[in-house]
Structure 1
Amino acid sequence: MSRRIDKGKCKGYAFAGWVTLLIATAGAAHGEGLDSTASVGKRLAVAADCVACHTAPGGEAFAGGYPLSSPMGTIYSTNITPSKTAGIGNYTSEQFARAVRDGVAADGTRLYPAMPYTSYSKMTDSDIAALYDYFMHEVTPVDTPNQKTALDFPFNIRASMIGWNALFHSKTRFTPDPAKSAEVNRGDYLVNGLAHCDTCHTPRNVLMAADSAKPLAGGSLGSWYAPNITSDKVSGIGAWSSDEIVAYLRTGHVEGKAQAAGPMAEAVENSLQHLSDVDLKAIAAYLLQTTPIKTGESKARHEYGQASVDELTLRGGKPGDNPGWHVFSGTCANCHQPNGQGTREYPSLFHNTATSRSDNLIAAIVYGVHREVDGVAIDMPGFGPDALFTDRLNDQQIADVSNYVLSRYGNADAVVTAADVAQVRNGGPQAPLAVMAKFTIPVIILVCLLIGLGAWALIARRRKEA
């Protein structure tokens, strides 16, 4: 995989089956081909997309060191090769199961839920055993030391995860619903278990736990936003056909609807494109029967916009008259066409979910779009201030072109400022918990002072009374 680090990425990835036949016919991790002789564990690891978070850019597969940008700070993934000095080579099967499903390392260290053990907890014992066998006997050991995660206080206190887990972590394994078809149960296990779509697509509460009242209703991923994928026909994907959902999961592209970018593009590249049709259809079947959740949209995300004639009417005007169009004409129109209808290689800007929200549009412009499907790279360069080429744009220019694209091809009610672009470039909006944490130390100091003053006053009063 061609890996890039998006500052706003907060992602954890992960399938297996309530019976072994749920195993996907998956492609192997880290670009390695997978044939019909591949082991069950290897198929599980690919469907789980373990490689995405546990492989650093340019590093060895599963050797860790990938920086996961979270609202609490950067969390570095660990080495999960069978190295006995740096990886998990000394783990017993029970210790491996506890780490994957309960977030507790062999030495008792509590893992942060950037490792989606809250979803993995639904995995069956047989699937955990198959994964353990794969990592211990098929993965090449790499002695790369783990990079230390050093979050600011109070998040650096890993013991706090004991309380968090008591509130939000369930050890209940997946149980098929007898009222649902085998296909829907299979999709449920994929979506909410090992494939853990729920990890990104469910909103978070103030303590950064999944909001169980709004499953799959959309959630912030820092700079990116994972949209509502419930069966609601307006807010979710209820208006999509099963074939369209399967095509999107397989390729990251559905003409007239959506293209995968950011963390979703990585999921498609590393995992989803390799799943069997049976598995992808099961995911589609499950999603299309979920409880529809309305999240405020006035029309479906893919219905916005139409072709533009601005090339004919605005050419020759002064840049100050329509700065967004001038950036678009000079930077975007060559690929997406002057009227926004796109080409075979580059998608249309209208009838495209990317132009229904300002955050994902900004992120796509800043970071670009990168995914590889069936060996073919789909690559849009990033135009942010940190771009490694000469056509970089500043925050105001990105805001201008975003507003032009939104007004002509997407959701015209969305308005972008340079400050919005800076926020996306810096990792997205701050989570309330991270904001509150900034006041933790001052509050502790203040409480200590008050306690000290109170004790001093009490002692002084007693001395006076004596």
Structure 2
Amino acid sequence: MKRQGIRKSCLMIALVSCSIAATADAAGIENQQGVLDGKYISTAADCVACHTAKGGAAFAGGYAIDSPMGTIWSTNITPSKKFGIGDYTEAEFARAVREGVARDGHHLYPAMPYTSYGKMTDEDIAALYKYFMTQVQPVDTPNKETKLPFPFSVRSSMAIWNLIYGDSKPFVPVGDQSQEINRGNYLVNSLAHCAECHTPRTALMGLDSSKPLAGSPLGPWYAPNITADKVAGIGAWTDDELKAYLRTGHVAGKAQAAGPMAEAVEHSLQYLSDADLNAIVAYLKQTKPVGADGAKPRDGYGAPADSETRLRGNAVRDADPGWKVYSATCSACHGARGEGTSVYPSLFHNSATGAAYPANLVATILFGVHRTIDGHDIEMPGFGPQASYTERLTDQQVADVSNYVLANFGQPQKKLTADDVAVARAGGPVAPLVKLSPYLLPGAIVVLLVLIVIAIAVTRRRRAYKKG
């Protein structure tokens, strides 16, 4: 009897132990899945691109973001308790990501795209927090101080801006749309924050909600129209072309990613699942078309040109100065006829040379192309400030070769000047609000003085009225 009791007890203990082990394993799997999800969400949100300095530790900050107001330094978002987010609670983390308010209450600048991240779901915020707190290594790298000129230096003013442009309501699927399109909507407008670059800005530098994804200047670059319009946007692209571009940054005879888009492809988009890339494509192809002037899509312009072979070897004293630059600097890679190679793209049927705004052509010549896809580097050297002295082009030379390329391979009616190139070299057009900023302080002082004078006059009048 005792042996039977002992056997029963052992059996019960074994069953309970197995049950506990199974529960623990299930909890471990769930916890690990949350971490994996958090890492994927971080990749989709492209956190590493802005929060990692060149040659620095991942997520340790120190990356210079060139905004219209000046340089904004990204912060350390590792779980360092001294310089990072190690002391953040999940609620404080969520507030920083969604509302742009740090743990100590100071406002973040919208270079951190919290206006898009505000739509992140509670589940994704929780998974992202778990990933940063448990899987990212803490790095005790001090944050660099962002010093913007007045009035942009007054961070508290962002509270008013946020009332106008902020939206911290989590994404809610649209009932009459498919699961795939809803997923694409969430990726485009929240995690991947496409609107932050591709939507025009208002006078106060908030997103213009009347023209979503219709294209916008981005420093010296131009983020093109990615609505479903078949001429101005990506409506004429096939699904496979659009997916390939998101995955690799390259579609032969159509487009190649450079500048900020190359960074997005390199650090984020190439790592998304096929299902998520398909969802982005499905969503973009059904967006409201936003048109613009243009007879055909930006990748539909140009044809091979024979001017390089026709002029080479002849007396060229009075030849097109743009051809001279092209012959000496560009033709070895892009071909005498602009046909390109298996490595370097064709210059005709190219969205940079056929675009309504040739900003990307100029920026590419100045700053080059740099992206790493599937471990392979895609490089085109820039001929601007970072080039060696012997390869550096002047503003006039960049304007000349740009006009040659536009005339032969793109939109010939587009003309650029050395002044246009100088603006691009300096970081792009200055926003109207930034142009007004030097007058805001004097203007505020004048308004204050006028209010004081009015207050004094009113006070004196009241006193005189009482005496009377």
Fold shared per TM-score above 0.5:
yes
2:84 aligns with one of 84, 87, 100: 87
Flag the 1:459–1:226 CA change in 2: closer, same or farther, 3 A: same
1:288 aligns with one of 275, 285, 296: 285
CA distance in 2, matches of 1:386, 1:374: 26
SS at match of 2:379: strand
Q: Which has the higher helix share?
A: 2
1:148 aligns with one of 135, 145, 149: 145
Unmatched segments (≥5 aa) in structure 1: 1-34
1:418 aligns with 2:415: no
Shift of 1:112: 0.8
Shift of 1:441: 2.2
Task: Using CA pairs under 8 Å that are at least 6 residues apart, name the structure with larger relative contact order, 1 or 2.
Answer: 1
The 8 Å contact of residues 319 and 326 in structure 1, kept in 2 or not, is answered as no
Q: Deviations over 1:357-391 (max 9, x none)?
A: 32110000000000010111000000014424521
The 8 Å contact of residues 365 and 383 in structure 1, kept in 2 or not, is answered as yes
* Match of residue 327 from structure 1: 325
User: What is the 5 A alignment of 1:297-336?
Assistant: 297-315=294-312, 316-336=314-334
* Match of residue 253 from structure 1: 250
CA distance in 1, matches of 2:80, 2:144: 15
Q: What amino acid maps onto 1:348 in structure 2?
A: S
Which has the greater radius of gyration? 2
Q: What amino acid maps onto 1:363 in structure 2?
A: A
Unmatched segments (≥5 aa) in structure 2: 1-31
Flag the 1:37–1:175 CA change in 2: closer, same or farther, 3 A: closer
CA distance in 2, matches of 1:267, 1:325: 33
CA distance in 2, matches of 1:349, 1:219: 23
* Match of residue 370 from structure 1: 370
CA distance in 1, matches of 2:394, 2:206: 35
2:106 aligns with one of 98, 102, 109: 109
1:207 aligns with one of 204, 207, 218: 204
CA distance in 1, matches of 2:385, 2:173: 49
* Match of residue 72 from structure 2: 75
CA distance in 2, matches of 1:222, 1:413: 23
SS at match of 1:378: strand
Q: Percent identity at matched positions?
A: 60
The 8 Å contact of residues 222 and 427 in structure 1, kept in 2 or not, is answered as yes
SS at match of 2:260: helix
The 8 Å contact of residues 122 and 193 in structure 1, kept in 2 or not, is answered as yes
SS at match of 2:434: helix
SS at match of 1:290: coil
Provide the TM-score with structure 2 as the length reference: 0.88
* Match of residue 8 from structure 1: none
The 8 Å contact of residues 221 and 360 in structure 2, kept in 1 or not, is answered as yes
Provide the TM-score with structure 1 as the length reference: 0.88
Superposed CA RMSD = 2.2
* Match of residue 345 from structure 2: 347
Q: What amino acid maps onto 1:113 in structure 2?
A: P
* Match of residue 395 from structure 1: 395
Q: Which of 308-317 and 276-285 deviates more? A: 308-317
CA distance in 1, matches of 2:459, 2:160: 37
Q: What amino acid maps onto 2:132 in structure 1?
A: F
Q: What amino acid maps onto 1:370 in structure 2?
A: H
Flag the 1:44–1:445 CA change in 2: closer, same or farther, 3 A: same
Equivalent residue pairs, number: 431
* Match of residue 198 from structure 1: 195
Shift of 1:452: 7.1
Q: What amino acid maps onto 2:253 in structure 1?
A: G
Q: What amino acid maps onto 1:183 in structure 2?
A: E
SS at match of 2:377: strand
Shift of 1:448: 5.1
* Match of residue 17 from structure 1: none
